[in-house]
Chain A
Amino acid sequence: MADTDFVTIAKVVKTQGRIGEVATEIFTDFPEKFAERKKLFALLPDDSRRELELEDAWPHKGQMVLKFVGVDSISDAELLIGSEIQITKLWSALSVERERVDEIRNQANALRKTADKLDSINAALDCPIVEPQA
């Protein structure tokens, strides 16, 4: 894949903890979505790209701490400092679409609740629902 096929969502700024965790500066508005992204890529300072599997992620003092499978020591983690953490554009586009779908689903649920309330009120008033005229 070409460089243009990737989107940077974070940058590794330092090692964190003892077992290979790294602290990252976040460039996405949805850091909680990290938990869903198991397959990530690191664009290393030498411009090579390394595929990584996310093991764990948690917010910490305005940053996101990431733990990758196979990165199990401080020296392993040091190799990632300065790397850009990326996802593919395809995944990014799918995530945006999924967020839209979630938003529409939430709006539909809200409308359904409102309709249910109106039905309850109508039933309580014991009056027929007047259908709008065409």
Chain B
Amino acid sequence: MSDVISTEKKLSPAFKARWLEALRSGKYEQGRKMLKGPQGFCCLGVALDVIDSGQWMASGWGNRDDGYELPRYDMSDTSLLSRELGIDGPTCDKLACLNDGITEEERVDEEPARAPLTFAQIADWIEANL
């Protein structure tokens, strides 16, 4: 884990390379709304998986107002992304929106207004912008 953690609070080139490789690998199924869920990973979930692969485990179920029950996973500590990797909150939110195909204003909507970006397209965005 230590080889991918930057102490300078910015996205380290080593971690960035591993994250992009993971996103482009085809190894991860892409899901929406959750870091990791029954349908697959969000791009931020892939980042957490790259940090510490294999540590995901369901830790319980939560009832939400919309009636859905969503599994919650132990590796859902998103502060790792900013604290250890230097990916700040607004950037995380931007990536989550790209992953889900929504704008920040549409964040709470159920259905995406446009086609979500694929992991490969998100990797291109990260490569160009982070």
| Chains A and B are bound partners | yes
- Interface residues, chain A, with chain B CB atoms under 8 Å away: 14-19, 21, 23, 55-56, 58-61, 65, 72-78, 81
A55 touches B89 (CB 8 A): no
For chain B, the bracket of interface size reads: 20 to 34
A18 touching B77 in the complex, CB below 8 Å, given contacts A60-B59, A61-B59, A73-B107: no
Q: Which residues of B contact A76 (CB under 8 A)?
A: 89
Q: What is the minimal beta-carbon distance from A49 to any residue of chain B, in angstroms?
A: 22
User: Please, how many angstroms separate the alpha-carbon atoms of A15 and B63 in the complex?
Assistant: 19
**Complex-state Cα separation, A76 to B104, whole angstroms:** 12
User: Which residues does B use to contact A, with CB under 8 Å?
Assistant: 33-35, 42, 44, 59-60, 62-65, 72, 74, 76-79, 81-83, 88-90, 92-93, 96, 104, 107-108
Query: Are A56 and B64 neighbours in the complex by a CB distance under 8 Å?
Result: yes
Residues of A with C-beta under 8 A to B89: 15, 73-78
* 30 A–B contacts from the bound complex (CB under 8 Å): A14-B78, A14-B79, A15-B77, A15-B78, A15-B79, A15-B89, A16-B76, A16-B77, A17-B76, A17-B78, A18-B33, A18-B34, A18-B35, A18-B44, A18-B76, A19-B107, A56-B62, A56-B64, A60-B60, A60-B72, A61-B59, A73-B93, A73-B107, A74-B78, A74-B82, A74-B89, A74-B96, A75-B89, A75-B90, A78-B82
